[in-house]
Amino acid sequence: MNETDKKIPFRSKIKKWMLGLLPERVHMAIGRRRARKGDEARGIPELTKRLVNKHGRDVRRGPFSGMHYVSAAHSSSYIPKLLGSYEEELHGVIESYRQQNYSLIIDIGSAEGYYAVGMALLNSARVLAFELDPVARKLCRQLAHINKVQERIDVVGRCTIDALALIRDEGKILVICDCEGFEYKLLYPERIPWLKHCDLLVELHRADNLGDMESFMTRFQATHTVERISTRPRDPSYYPELEGWDIADQENALGEFRAYHQEWAILTARA
């Protein structure tokens, strides 16, 4: 091993340490910039313009069909949300929630509000949306307004165990969570007793520094039925809006560009 090879790990540690000193808002801005560069490399801006010019910005199908949409998605793929293919694996689960008499829906990591506003359109529940990024919070409020559900949605910042423990609701609660691994640090039934009686839809992340999927699922085995759903490929033929597009463009339009094979936990309270 030469001297250059020896220095690389040290340099990586220094870079990681220096990044850790940056304010949270700077990290968010860096994340948005990386997402934009990735989209540009795939030609997403041009594909978006092509789709929107012909079909507009309403969600085309799926449980949130007809939802009027904002001009951008936050930290996720935009075109799939317009097509209605976004997280298609969960459509059946979302439709089943339509039949439940929830009084409160909590969306942890709401981004621009796809689920927060979509669920408000499906039923009459109040919605509490937690989102760290102020840009995403602004989009979420805008999305709620253009769909005329702003009176039932509260959009707030950081979600903590203490904030969740303070929630008091006599009715049935649904939690939808996508918070980049922090689900392992937040969702503890022992510290938040009402979690034992609510339904949860949780996007599971590979974040060994925060926790692991198996231990997380074990927390709920005594009080919930537990199901795992995995991502699956998309079939462009299901989406007539993409007819005539090149195969590569179809794939990019439907792509959600996840870092790994995605899984979700569907946790349904037994009582």
CA dist 139 and 150 (Å) reads 12
Query: Does residue 18 sit in the same domain as residue 88?
Result: no
Question: Residue 15 has what pLDDT?
Answer: 52
- SS3 string, 144-206, reads HHHCCCHHHEEEECCCCHHHHHCCCCCCEEEEEECCCCCHHHHCCCCCCHHHHHCEEEEEECC
Using the predicted structure, report yes or no on whether residue 3 has a pLDDT greater than 70: no
Position 271 scores a pLDDT of 83
Its pTM surpasses 0.85: yes
Higher pLDDT, residue 169 or 57: 57
Average pLDDT value for the chain: 89
Residue-level pLDDT at 5: 47
Residue 135 CA to residue 216 CA, distance in Å, equals 30
Q: Any idea what the CATH number is for the domain that residue 118 is in?
A: 3.40.50.150
Q: What is the mean pLDDT of residues 15-39?
A: 55
Judge if 145 and 218 occupy the same domain: yes
What's the structural domain count of the chain? Answer: 2
pLDDT exceeds 90 at position 24: no
Residues spanned by the domain of 70: 43-269
32: confidence class by pLDDT, cuts 50, 70, 90: low
In a shared domain, residues 138 and 30: no
pLDDT of residue 6: 46
Same domain, 32 and 57: no
Kindly state the average pLDDT of the residues 139-157.
98
**Same-domain pairing of 112 and 64:** yes
Do both 183 and 51 map to the same domain? yes
Classified as helix, coil or strand, 54 is helix
Q: Do residues 11 and 87 both lie within one domain?
A: no
Among 3-12, 67-76, 225-234, the minimum mean pLDDT is found in 3-12
Q: Are residues 83 and 147 in the same domain?
A: yes
User: Within 13 Å, how many C-alpha atoms sit on residue 1's CB side?
Assistant: 7
pLDDT band at 4 (very low <50, low <70, confident <90, very high): very low
Closest CA to 155 of 165, 144, 167, 163: 144
**Does residue 55 sit in the same domain as residue 158?**
yes
Give the per-residue pLDDT at 71. Answer: 95
Q: Are 65 and 20 found together in one domain?
A: no
105-137 tens-digit pLDDT: 999 999 999 999 999 999 999 999 999 999 999
Q: Report the SS3 class of residue 88.
A: helix
As a whole number, mean pLDDT of residues 31-47 equals: 72
* 117 and 13 assigned to the same domain: no
173 and 141 both lie in a single domain? yes
